[in-house]
Amino acid sequence: MIDVEDEAVTDSTNNGSDYDVIIVGGGPAGLCAAMYGGRGMLRTLLIERGLPGGELLNTELIEDYPGFESILGRDLADKMANHARKFGAEFVTDTVDAIRREPGGGFVVMTDLGKTYRAPAVILTAGGTPNKLGVRGEKEFAGRGVSYCAVCDGAFFKGEVLAVIGGGDAAVEEADYLTRYASKVYIVHRRDKLRASPIIQQRALANPKIEMVWNKVVEEIEGDERGTRRIRLSDTVTGATSTLDVGGVFVFIGFTPNTGIIKEHADHDSQGYLVTDSHMMTSIPGLFAAGDVRVQLTRQITTAVGDATTAAIAVEKYLAERREQASVGAA
């Protein structure tokens, strides 16, 4: 939860170093922010729990990033990370446990390895996590038929029969989107009524390529060396089991933004996405957000790096204003 009671930080020990800006999260937004931070001559630290790249590392091929007609997700991640390092950004592999604001207005970032890092500004680019089905075969076929992003991966399924799991706005909209590539799209929903808004439902149900599969939940995703081949279903009313032959499974049962590490209230929407101003600053002065973690219309690599560009440049201006205020106060 974001609405965690703020606790004063009393431990003055700093096992890390002091920086101008700390970036939490090493996906496309974080890597872009790190590049701009270094380029702006800021002492920049990026903390990422794994290899730099975030969801790029889970995407086989990217064909919607300007300048690259086609590039492997891992290759794009490497290029972005190397670009940030070129301008002096420092990288640390660790998991951030908490971001707390200190009495003086700066921030302390605490990690799982027991380190603390301090900076007057933080850019949160930790993104979010698509909710998983938690069934057998989901992990095994992730990236090989199981996807959580229709815009990212839909073009790889031309002519295939696909299954979309979910019944909300995202699931129904993405099912409609996928029909431009697929020969047929099943919407598999655990109830006998969709949760999507009426206008979205009308558009999808009028699409001849879409067929509803009511009162069903996925029990298992099956496939072979080529990828996903079928899903096993269980009827939520009768308990009967069945199978559905599909070449791909798109899961849209929710998305959880990684905002729980903020140990102070920050304005957010009903789903937990951070609300920012035009400079990407949250309601907490000095805490900026970019990419999938904030409220926005779409979540793509291009929007993530756009947010990050704005946030990093805004941090420069924010720090300059702080220095000016401090000098006036000291005069």
Give me the active site residues, please: 149, 152-153
List C-alpha distances in Å: 174 to 95, 132, 171, 253.
32, 16, 5, 12
Measure the CA–CA gap between 37 and 125, rounded to whole angstroms. 14
Q: Name residue 108's beta-bridge partners.
A: 100, 118
Cβ distance 191 to 167 under 8 Å?
yes
Measure the CA–CA gap between 147 and 159, rounded to whole angstroms. 16
List C-alpha distances in Å: 305 to 43, 50, 119, 149, 208.
20, 19, 22, 18, 37
Cβ distance 160 to 230 under 8 Å?
no
Comparing CA positions, the residue from 168, 212, 204 lying closest to residue 186 is 212
